[in-house]
Amino acid sequence: MVIAVIGAGTMGNGIAHVFAQHSYKVNLVDISEDALKNGVATITKNLDRMIVKGKISESDKQATLENIAKYTSIEKGVRNVDLVVEAATENLTLKLKIFKELDTFCDTNTILASNTSSISITQIAAVTNRADKVIGMHFMNPVPIMQLVEIIRGYNTSDNTTKTIMQLSKKLGKTPTEVNDYPGFVANRILMPMINEAIETLYNGVAGVLEIDTVMKLGMAHPMGPLQLADFIGIDVCLSILNVMYDGFKNPKYAPCPLLVNMVRANKLGVKSGEGFYDYSNSKKAETVSSQFN
Ligand SMILES: NC(=O)c1ccc[n+]([C@@H]2O[C@H](COP(=O)([O-])OP(=O)(O)OC[C@H]3O[C@@H](n4cnc5c(N)ncnc54)[C@H](O)[C@@H]3O)[C@@H](O)[C@H]2O)c1
């Protein structure tokens, strides 16, 4: 079975890593040569870390890397593949364009999955002529470590497609969980209002950043506080997912907190911009955040 992964960024390289490590041939596709180079470098680094931890051998690493081929053209990268997992930038216009291309270039039986965090699978499927074979395969970050794959059934996704993707996810050692296609699916529908409420609590002056995160870490046994998690996800990503739910449900309970909106305007986007609720200008501190996921 050959899998094409579209996008070699944070999620794409993780998805390619997991498939390749489970002996699937992977065509990793990105419009950017640099993204492909960095993606494979990240996979190599993560495999090295697994060797140090005694989880895989040097020959497992070599076999995994040999399973990955790089492409800058979608047309060439998806030729004769059985499944495509799209993990390109979260942008509706871009995803619709990519799925139109995938529908043109892939064999008629190829299943087209998207790793989107918030875009409607039904809307993506509607630009193809195979809505029954379009499905959400929402991996969590970091992909090689996180257990869950949220499997999202679009309005027209067939039982057969769902069964194939559920079984395949299990073969990757993951726990797939089936949900229906409504804004935020399940993971973000529950997570984002919690993050938004934590920001609202800060905005209302009920407690400070550290206090809010400490309550949730030590009181609820969360591995990290919601504000630190928002920094890690990206404050802009949180805003855009909340807006998808706000627009999708037309319900004010999903309205993003004004502080969240202001932080995005001020380019305080979390770890990636060097500052969010915490300061990451000192690289040691940023490392403290990401090391929790290693
Ligand atoms: N980062 C997360 O924590 C996370 C978690 C779950 C799901 N997601 C979803 O995964 C997807 C990817 O997110 P990411 O964080 O990996 O983004 P990213 O910005 O790290 O990577 C996106 C990659 O897509 C590439 N790309 C853009 N246009 C392309 C095209 N036309 N063809 C091929 N490649 C193209 C870019 O060059 C880039 O390398 C998004 O849909 C996002 O919502 C992200």
Task: Tell me: cis bond preceding 256? Omega within 30 of 0 counts.
Answer: no
**Largest separation between any pair of C-alpha atoms in the chain:** 57
Atom in ligand 1 nearest the alpha carbon of residue 88: 24
Per the structure block, which two tokens stand in for 80?
Answer: 């004769």
Q: Beta partners for 151?
A: 137, 178
Quote the ligand 1 centre to 202 CA distance (angstroms): 30
Q: Read out DSSP for 90-135? A: S-HHHHHHHHHHHHHHS-TT-EEEE--SSS-HHHHHTTSS-GGGEE
Identify the pLDDT of residue 286.
52
Q: Left if phi > 0, otherwise alpha if psi is -120 to 50, otherwise beta: which for 270? A: left
CATH number for 2-180: choose from 2.60.40.350, 3.40.50.720, 1.10.3720.10, 3.40.50.300: 3.40.50.720
**Euclidean distance between CA atoms 116 and 196, whole angstroms:** 20
Q: Which residues contact 98 (CB under 8 A, 6 or more apart)?
A: 6, 74, 86, 88
Checking DSSP bridges between strand 148-153 and strand 25-29, what pairing results, if any? unpaired
DSSP 254: G
Per-residue pLDDT tens digits of the chain, which is 294 residues long:
999 999 999 999 999 999 999 999 999 999 999 999 999 999 999 999 999 999 999 999 999 999 999 999 999 999 999 999 999 999 999 999 999 999 999 999 999 999 999 999 999 999 999 999 999 999 999 999 999 999 999 999 999 999 999 999 999 999 999 999 999 999 999 999 999 999 999 999 999 999 999 999 999 999 999 999 999 999 999 999 999 999 999 999 999 999 999 999 999 999 999 999 999 987 655 544 444 433
Identify the pLDDT of residue 289.
45
Q: Name the closest-CA residue to atom 39, ligand 1.
A: 9
Quote the ligand 1 centre to 87 CA distance (angstroms): 5
Residue 126 Cα distances to 99, 141, 155, 157, angstroms: 9, 27, 10, 11
Identify the pLDDT of residue 287.
47
**Euclidean distance between CA atoms 200 and 264, whole angstroms:** 15
Q: Indicate the top mutation candidate among 6, 10, 27 to test ligand 1's pocket, ranked by most ligand atoms within 8 A of CB.
A: 10
CATH for the stretch 188-289: 1.10.1040.10
Quote the ligand 1 centre to 99 CA distance (angstroms): 14
Residue ranges per domain, the chain?
A: 2-180, 188-289
**Euclidean distance between CA atoms 34 and 149, whole angstroms:** 28
Q: Look up 211 and say whether it is catalytic.
A: no
Residue length of the chain: 294
Q: Is 244 in the pocket of ligand 1 (CB under 6 A)?
A: no
3-state secondary structure 183-249: CCCCHHHHHHHHHHHHHHHHHCCCCCHHHHHHHHHHHHCCCCCHHHHHHHHCHHHHHHHHHHHHHHH
Q: Is 6 in the pocket of ligand 1 (CB under 6 A)?
A: yes
Per annotation, catalytic residue among 117, 120, 169, 196: 117
Q: Is 10 in the pocket of ligand 1 (CB under 6 A)?
A: yes
pTM of the predicted protein model: 0.93
Atom in ligand 1 nearest the alpha carbon of residue 29: 33
Q: In what order do the strands lie in the sheet with 134-139?
A: 68-71, 25-29, 2-6, 83-86, 111-114, 134-139, 148-153, 175-180
Q: Is 83 in the pocket of ligand 1 (CB under 6 A)?
A: no
Per annotation, catalytic residue among 13, 67, 188, 196: 188
Identify the pLDDT of residue 282.
77
**Euclidean distance between CA atoms 32 and 17, whole angstroms:** 18
